Amino acid sequence: MPHITFVLSSVIVLLLSTSPPTSGSVYDDFVQCLNTHPNSSDTKIVIPQNNPSFTSTLRAYIRNSRFNTSTTPKPVLILTPTTESHVQASVLCAKKLGVQLKIRSGGHDYEGISYVSTEQSFIVLDMFNLRSINVNTGDSSVWAQAGATLGELYYRISQKSKLLAFPAGICPTVGVGGHVSGGGYGNLLRKYGLAVDNVLDALIVNVNGKLLDRKSMGEDLFWAIRGSGGGSFGVIVSYKLRLVPVPETVTVFRVMRYLEQNATDVVLMWQKVAPCTDDGLWMRVLVQPVSSPTKKGEKTVRISILAQFLGNANKLVSILGKQFPELGLKKEDCLEMSWIESVVWWNDGSTPNVTKPESLLNRNLNHASFLKRKSDYVQTPISRDGLEALWKKLMEVGKTGLVFNPYGGKMAQISVSDAPFPHRAGNLFKIQYSVGWNIAGEEAANEYLNQTRVLYSFMTPFVSKNPRSAFLNYRDLDIGVNTFGKDRYEQGKVYGLKYFNDNFYRLVKVKTAVDPENFFRNEQSIPPLPRKE
């Protein structure tokens, strides 16, 4: 596969070589169109490039500095709807003007495809104002709009009940819309599955500007928007989510080991225990190349196991004492707390009463770093020789680290076809490749991007095959890009089969039925079937 940076660069240069519509002309046409929709003619939601707030609005939810440069393609307009009717009118007007509409609901977008485009003219529909959350403890559900953050969702749930939670991600500044529509996993997945496994209803604006719920959209479309990335089928405005029970006390711990402290033995046993232990226990492993604490000037590998257990410390220590003695967990390694306090702990590592749950309401705007992420799935435990080779490679490559996220439990009980997300039984754990840097410029970016690619190539023998699967919410343009030419379906298969396995084909059928002209599209969207000539 050609180097993806050069692929995207050449596509952008080609598209920009023709004269795109000016921001002013698109603004005038868009405002004129909005004025034909009586309930949606609020022109304050339309921000052109010459508006003083354009740059700050665009940057507010950019979390990857790679896409916050002077040369990054910019939208001609940013739309900031505050009502559902604004969203409906935005879709109809963008469609009428023939301009691409990108949908952003949180900004934790590893490849920037919600606010960057390879097309010559595009608009960003930014959902951050649509953030209402309505918790119903009576039927254990919540309606959450797409622009709400996970932190806001968790906090609002905790205000109504200390014994209800929602199984979603760890980072509180992630947007609900993107997180849920792309799968949505977190530390409750072994007990309750993914966020998409707990979606009861949704509101979506389709290509014709209609606001549809589960009943009116039909089960095929409802199936498709639970894990395929909603931007392929319409604009998801809100989700109705099932809340799940949690005990008064949950227990967390963080234990670190270096190679000199039996780290290899710990990871060997972790692969056997983590996917098969009590469903209420989730143990994530961080693997990082670091400087040796005992041998000056030498490198080593440090592993950190971060865990959450739905129960008290005594029971947790008893379980792992029998199943995982290599870890040597002691009660003093553990912290007992409420579920909402554990959300704060996962975010900043603080003990109860140090950081208050109200901190989850902080959207942390304009906070970005340079980063790259990739993903893999492991279906057979990696041998001791394999792990030792991996440690050596990590130290050779440089800064890139790995995160092992265990599956099993509820994940193994849900059918691969229940939702577009297919990575269920048979997967022991998911790998995230993670690297960050703070030096601007193409030279630094290429160095760190190459680190991840070298490590990804090295891991080929240890991970899933035919296809080599990937996780959609760890978006990775290295595995394929759709340039929307006549081969858009074949291009879509390249990444689509990795993200969705055979569910890709059903997604294509739904796409062809609801959006045959491919209005809702991005560089890794679901393509419609090719037209018959």
Q: Report the catalytic residues.
A: 474
Contact call for residues 58 and 48 (beta carbons, < 8 A): no
Amino acid at 54: F
- The packing angle between helices 503-514 and 488-500, to 10°, is 130
How far is Cα 234 from Cα 92, in angstroms, rounded to an integer? 11
DSSP-assigned beta bridge partners for residue 369: 64
Say which DSSP state 528 is in.
Answer: P
- Strands across the sheet with 299-309, in order? 334-337, 250-258, 299-309, 281-291, 401-406, 429-437, 370-378
Look-up of token digits 């339309």: 46
Pick the closest to residue 144 from 168, 115, 109 (CA basis): 168
CA atoms within 13 A on the CB side of 205: 23
Say which DSSP state 116 is in.
Answer: -
How far is Cα 501 from Cα 506, in angstroms, rounded to an integer? 10
Say which DSSP state 101 is in.
Answer: E
Q: Terminal CA-to-CA distance of the chain, rounded, Å?
A: 29
